[in-house]
Amino acid sequence: MLHRLTGLLTLIAALLFGGAATAQEVAQRPVAGFPHAVLYTVGDAPKPVVVILHGADGNDEASTRFGPILARMGYAAVGLPYYSPNWGDYGPPPKFPDLPGSFIDIRVDQLAELREALRGMPGADVERFGLFGASKGAEFALIAGSRYPWIDSIVAYAPTDVVWEGWGLEMVEAEGTRSSFSFGGQPLPFVPYRGFVEGLLAGPAADLRAIHENGRADHPEKAVAARIPIETYPGSLLLIAGGRDAQWNAAGAVTEIVAHRSAVGLETEALVYPEAGHDLVGDGGVRQVERSGGSPEADAAARADAWPKVVTFLARTLAD
């Protein structure tokens, strides 16, 4: 029944924007000036833009997975790889050596440049602009929303309410000194971690949620400065989180974001699944994901419930 409903909503979304639902071929076009960025479209009629912002894994897996899906739903989907992990001799070689190899000072303002690069490309209507991000991609999306009023719609899976410390090979001996994100050439205020290097050494045994929460507890004044002022974002916002997220306290972040937006009269759609973890993107299926938290079954149930609501949200908030 769920798959039938999802298919129906996909068809409705496609019809709203004049695209084909499933059968037509998805075109893939590079975006000038953005290495490895791809515009996915079905047909050349102008459609709302949805930019896919990946999480800490980096590279383009989220783009190649969701770009065709969103294109068949009637969007001009843009995969924007912006980070490709490079741990030197301590890890595999980076997939994209020409992208930043450390998650440090990632430029949020590249989204404005991307919007201009998309202007006039076949199938892209940049006057209807959405973001689809998870985890660090949600952090990216929420920062952008607080800066750019032309963003109409944001789907943020496993979000955070603050900007966090950056990481990379050069941070091993420089903990607490660099931000994950920048804007206008300036690093954004951030919350340092506690125990990042110990976490690296511990590998899969590291308690990532504690690394974040202990850092926030150690630096309450920095947490205030690093808060993402998402109440300045006037557009539509959908937050999705699991109560047992093992990466960071996404459900707590949802509570904070909703409260700040409510205080200024802005509505926020929030889906919080108490038994679910971090891996909530997609439309269901039981799978074991390391460090998600919750359980594979709870995560699958959350995905199955959330995905039709994401489809409906995007269709409603990016319509003419």
Buried b (16+ CB within 10 A) or exposed e, 256-288: bbbebbeeeebebebbbbeebbbbbbbbbeeee
Mean pLDDT, all residues of the chain: 91
pLDDT value at residue 301: 95
The CA-to-CA distance between both ends of the chain, in Å, stands at: 30
pLDDT value at residue 198: 85
**Residue 200 vs residue 21, higher pLDDT:** 200
SS3 state at 221: helix
How far CA 10 is from CA of 6, 45, 180, in Å, comes to 6, 18, 35
Q: Can you count the helices (H) and strands (E) in the chain?
A: 9, 11
Domain regions of the chain by residue span: 2-317
pLDDT value at residue 79: 98
How far CA 188 is from CA of 105, 281, 311, in Å, comes to 8, 27, 32
Q: Which of 100, 103, 152 is nearest to 126 (CA)?
A: 152
In percent, the amount of the chain with pLDDT more than 90 equals 80
How far CA 173 is from CA of 168, 184, 196, in Å, comes to 10, 27, 10
Mean pLDDT of 42-49: 96
For the stretch 91-121, pLDDT in tens is: 899 999 999 999 999 999 999 999 999 998 9
CA separation for the pair 121, 27 (Å, rounded): 12
For the stretch 148-173, pLDDT in tens is: 999 999 999 999 999 999 999 888 77
3: confidence class by pLDDT, cuts 50, 70, 90: very low
Q: Which of 39, 34, 47 is nearest to 74 (CA)?
A: 47
The yes or no reply on domain 2-317 and CATH 3.40.50.150 is no
Q: Which of 128, 84, 122 is nearest to 318 (CA)?
A: 128
Edge-to-edge strand list for the sheet holding 236-242: 27-30, 38-41, 76-79, 47-53, 124-134, 153-157, 236-242, 269-273
pLDDT value at residue 23: 53
List the structure tokens of 205: 């045994």
For the stretch 48-93, pLDDT in tens is: 999 999 999 999 999 999 999 999 999 999 999 999 999 888 889 9
SS3 state at 78: strand
Cβ atoms within 10 Å of 161's Cβ, excluding its own: 24
For residues 314 and 237, the answer to whether their CB atoms sit within 8 Å is: no
For the stretch 172-216, pLDDT in tens is: 778 889 999 999 999 999 999 998 888 877 888 889 999 999 999
